[in-house]
Amino acid sequence: MNKNKETRVVSWGYDLIRNIFLNHREDYDFQEDLYRNYLSPFMKDIFGTHTPVYIFGGQEIKLIVEKNMLTFRDGLLPLTIFFKEANVDQFAPIIAIHKDYHFIVPDEWKKKVIYYDINSKRKYSKNSLPKKILITGMMNSALSEPREFEKSLENLAQKVGVNNLEKIEISCFCPSKRNDLWGGWEEENVLRYSQAIFQKLKLDIKVPEWKHIIQESDYTDTLYYEINNGFFIKDSFPLHHILAKGAGLLADDESLTSSQFKIKNEIALSLYHSIRFYDCDYSTNDPFETQVEDLEYFKQISAIESKNKKLNFRWEEWYASYIKKYYSAAIEK
Amino acid sequence: MSIQKIKILIIRTTEESSWGSCRVISPNLQKTYQHLSKEIFEIRFFDITEKFLLEDLKTNSNHMRNLANMIIQFEPDELVFVDHLPHPFKILSVLQMFLTKSQFPTLVFHIYGDFSYFASDWIKFALNFPEQKVKFIVASESQLKLLNYFSKNSNCNSRFLFPVNSNDYFFNSDERTELRKKMNLAEDDFVILYSGRISLQKNVDLIIDEFSNLNDLSPGKVHLWIVGSFDDLGANFMGVNNLPGYMFHKIQEILDLLPPHLREKITFWGNQKKEMLRKINNASDLFISLSLYHDEDFGMSPAEALATGLPTLLTDWGGYSSFMSKEWCSDLVPVNITPFGLEISAFKMVEFIENTLKAKVDFSKRKLWSDKFLKEFSIEGSSWKLAEILKNETSTFDGFSFGLKFYQKEFGHSLWKLGKEISEELTPSSENYYYQVYQNYISLNGRVNE
């Protein structure tokens, strides 16, 4: 080394370039974006070499299709519509969707689709209790029916042990939103959700604001539990943010683990969590597929004849009216 | 005849700051005030939260009305703001509803690194409080130079460091031995430590890059410990916005390029509480930080490292140069602002580490350096300096210079374009406004330990 001339130049311009791997449309106006604002703060972009995106996220579609791999963070409804309307030959890349939704993939897409889930290094259960629990979710019936909300809380209490809840500090962030994602707002009593929290867990619940949750830098000894029916987004920003600060998830129930999936790769996303990718053995008869009765609507949406072949991923212009028309029709059937 | 005491009313927040170092700085500052001589000073506190500022002004239970009444009754000589948030201007603008201009005593502000970030609030303060008696207290020489650059005159500006709590950070040989044994380190293993946020401008990637070169000095014996959590703040002052998760990936990519025998020598400790952080400092052999953070006004992590007697190598940037002294083991890596960006001297880095490796620092030296550092930087050791500032005469504040207004305008533009394009004036270069501001952060002291 030439000791007299050895210097290091520090430049952050390259970091700017790497962080704009998802170019948004020129005319995309975040302030007016109904969909993203509605799902805030759960719907926010994250960085990843696996190109994590939301289909209905305002990106330039032609730039998305140029990527080698896409990981769709969307929930069941956008995914259903995507597989219904998108042309499989138009998409060169490999697409990863959450493994909970493997049943939605049409045959012609199976060769391109792999599956993922999120894993945490720390896992909690009755035998390994957290000191704290942080629950997030949304309180309206478009995003979580009261009964679904209650069931999620019952599940949490059962996994951690009802008798253990008193000794665990529980915080809850559940913003309420008007139930008008696709128009036709009706009043509903969100206290039903609050009541469920207090009845299924306990009375002594902390209720931090989002800005304080996001500013906290240490979530070790914390179980993160998200109440999310996964209809609109499956892979949320809080999940990644809280896990990256040291939180953990509930331990997997080994008896329910499907043998259909074979892990192919795992990418670390932080010191504390990762994303796992799987291949799916479609020849295996998955006995748990029948457990998706509540999701029968989505199979029906897939089956409905669609006359709208225009591939347009703008929420405001097309998606909203599409959802209203086909989702409503499926429910009526 | 009794001596009239100097009456100090301190406004402090009861809400913990989101900024890790501020969670340490504020309590230590408060303890320093409490340590002042009770024969000379009468100290009272008023606790505030952001919610107080939103209360209905007309109700009798309004907390700001209570503060105003306390000021009227107690008649403090100085009203001190020890926290950076809620911003002092927000508190004062509500107090203005209850107090006349003559009822405001001398205002004393402890200035943090985010001074430039809140430029608009400071500008509003200057406009709303013309000819107010003020003391701005910054924590380092460089921050003082920066504040002087942003002020019409420097009469109101002074310097008092952020104290270290000597009960939390000190040299302990037993802790060193115990942790090194737990980590399976031999006596001649050499541990380089970085603690702090793993953030873009902290240049932890550069430390890892250089680590692979340093291993040639003592093959297989040099380790790198990194303590702290990843953050994706980016460099928003110039328009660089990091997506959540970016910094982890950036570091991971560098680690993946290292050969296994080097990769296994790097340990990420994550976030650690102060007791464990002290043990890690005690067990290490050298602290390094190559930060070029635009708000590096002081450096709590280096201060804590020096409090444990750790040899410390820092960039000649911001508050870091204030740690240089012949009383303990520290050195600066020269920094240059070039037309193309910031440049640091790798040669100086290697030289210091080489020398420290050869020196084989023993326990008695660590203890000596720790004691000398704490004599100057501890709460007990430094309180007399604070007392001098408080006793000094106050000047009338003339306002901020145009430089601050220009900074605010450019920063505002950066935030508006965040993630889309880089600011022309605030991208590090010797040929734009960035240089005018941040040349104040370079001490040009170079080597002080010969």
Of B213, B270, B342, the CB nearest to A271: B270
pLDDT tens column, A256-279: 556 788 999 999 999 999 999 999
Residue in B246, B345, B420 nearest the CB of A47:
B246
- B interface test, pick of A1, A11, A12 with most B CB neighbours within 10 Å: A12
* Residue of A2, A9, A10 for testing the chain B interface, max B β-carbons within 10 Å: A10
- Is the domain of B223 the same as that of B328? yes
To the nearest 5 percent, what fractions of chain A are helix, strand and coil? 35, 20, 45
Token representation of residue A328: 């409503």
Report if residue B132 sits inside a domain: yes
Chain B's closest residue to A23, CA to CA, is B420
Q: Within an 8 Å CB–CB cutoff, is residue B53 touching chain A?
A: no
Q: Are residues B131 and B25 in the same domain?
A: yes
Q: Say which CATH number the domain at B140 has.
A: 3.40.50.2000
pLDDT-derived band at A5 (thresholds 50, 70, 90) equals: low
Mean pLDDT of B381-401: 94
The answer to whether A233 and A35 are in contact (CB under 8 A) is no
* H-only helix segments in chain A: 13-19, 34-38, 61-64, 76-85, 146-160, 191-200, 210-215, 237-244, 296-303, 320-332
Residue the block writes with tokens 């420097």: B154
> What's the domain range around B43?
6-163+382-403
- B106 and B189 in one domain? no
Per the structure, the count of domains in chain B is: 2
Q: Give phi and psi for B142, each to the nearest 5.
A: -65, -40
Q: What is the mean pLDDT of residues B98-117?
A: 94
Higher pLDDT, A330 or A277: A277
Separation between Cα atoms, residue A123 and residue A100, nearest integer Å:
19
Interface-testing mutation among B229, B291, B333, with chain A (most A C-beta atoms within 10 A): B229
Per CB-CB distance under 8 Å, the chain B contacts of A244 are: 230, 244-245, 248
What is the arithmetic mean of pLDDT over A117-142?
A: 91
The H or E element spanning position A224 is strand A222-227
Nearest to B343 among A8, A44, A47 (CB): A8
**Cβ contact A19–B345 (<8 Å):** no
Q: Which residues of A touch B206 (CB under 8 A)?
A: 8, 10
Maximum average pLDDT range among A279-283, B145-149, B347-351: B145-149
For chain A, the domains span: 13-119+279-332, 121-255
| Residue B275 vs residue B450, higher pLDDT | B275
Selection from B48, B114, B56 nearest residue B80 by Cα? B48
Residues B311, B256 share a domain: yes
Gap between the Cα atoms of B265 and B151, Å rounded:
47
The residues facing A170 across adjacent strands are A133, A205
B118 and B180, same domain (yes or no): no
Least confident stretch, A40-49, A321-330, B21-30, B108-117: A321-330
* Structural domain A121-255, CATH architecture: 3-Layer(aba) Sandwich (3.40)
pLDDT confidence band for A23 (50 / 70 / 90): low
> What are B110's strand-pairing partners?
B137
**Which chain A residues have a beta carbon less than 8 Å from that of B208?**
none
Radius of gyration of chain B (CA): 23
Assess contact for B230 and B263: CB atoms under 8 A: no
pLDDT at B394 over 80: yes
Q: Are residues B361 and B392 in the same domain?
A: no
What percent of the residues of chain B are helix, what percent strand, and what percent coil, each to the nearest 5?
45, 20, 35
- B203 contacts in A (CB within 8 Å)? 10
Residue B408 has pLDDT above 60, yes or no: yes
Residue B227 within any structural domain of the chain: yes
In-domain check, residue B73: yes
Which amino acid is it at B47?
D
Helix (H) or strand (E) holding B135: strand B133-138
pLDDT attached to residue A69: 87
A47-51, A294-298, B182-186, B259-263 — which is least confidently predicted? A294-298
Residues B69 and B139 in one domain: yes
Question: What's the whole-number average pLDDT of chain A?
Answer: 79
Which of A16, A46, A246 minimises the CB distance to B271?
A: A246
pLDDT category of residue A88 using cuts at 50, 70 and 90: confident
When pLDDT is cut at 50, 70 and 90, the band that residue A66 belongs to is low
Q: How far apart are CA A8 and CA A111, in angstroms?
A: 46
Are the CB atoms for A278 and A263 separated by under 8 Å? yes
The alpha carbon of residue B250 is apart from the nearest alpha carbon of chain A, in Å, by: 9
Same domain, B368 and B396: no
In degrees and rounded to multiples of 5, residue B273 shows phi and psi of -75, 165
SS3 state of residue A257: coil
Whether residues B181 and B133 fall in one domain: no
Within a domain: residue B449?
no
* Contacts of range B174-178, beta carbons closer than 8 Å, 24 or more positions apart: B175/B278, B175/B279, B175/B282, B175/B283, B176/B279, B176/B282, B176/B283, B176/B363, B178/B279
Question: Cβ separation of A15 and B244 shorter than 8 Å?
Answer: no
My answer on whether B144 and B210 are in the same domain is no
CB proximity under 8 Å: B 15-34 to A: 18, 20
Distance to chain A for B100, nearest Cα, Å: 35
Q: Could you give the CA distance from residue B319 to residue A175 in angstroms, rounded to a whole number?
A: 41
What pLDDT digit, counting tens, does each position of B358-379 carry?
Answer: 887 899 999 999 999 999 999 9
SS3 B177: helix
pLDDT > 90: percent of chain B: 74
